[in-house]
Amino acid sequence: MATLNAHTIDRRQLPERRVALREGNSVMSAVDYVAMVLLIIGGLNWGMVGLFNIDVVSTIFGAESPLSRVIFVLVGVAALYSIYLSAKMATSRRH
């Protein structure tokens, strides 16, 4: 009986997830989601290049087309943004 009560008390002392979401600590912005999608596209494309020597983006949009170059640049910008976001998250968790 004492074990059940101690467990219940411990659980009540933990901060609620809803409060963290309202404060904006765990909420991802639209830019974060776009960057994540672009990184997934880039990662899958590089996986296909590494495994099967097939560049899916170039296959769909053309080998040297401006659209494929734009997609590659956007994936690179998303990677740079994720580095910034990771550093920002690391410093916010320290405080």
Residue 64 CA to residue 71 CA, distance in Å, equals 12
H-type helices in 14-65, by residue range? 17-23, 30-52, 56-61
- The answer to whether residues 17 and 63 touch, using CB atoms and an 8 Å cutoff, is no
Give 52-79 pLDDT, tens digit per residue.
Answer: 999 999 999 999 999 999 999 999 999 9
Q: C-alpha distances in angstroms, 35 versus 23, 41, 69, 76, 92?
A: 22, 10, 17, 10, 20
Return the pLDDT at 28: 85
Whether the predicted pLDDT of 21 surpasses 50 = no
Amino acid at 82: S
CA distance 81 to 29: 13
Please tell me which residue, 18 or 95, carries the higher pLDDT value.
95
Q: Domain residue spans in the chain? A: 28-94
Structure confidence by residue, pLDDT tens digits, 34-51: 999 999 999 999 999 999
From residue 78, how far is each of 19, 25, 36, 67, 90 by CA, in Å?
A: 29, 21, 7, 16, 18
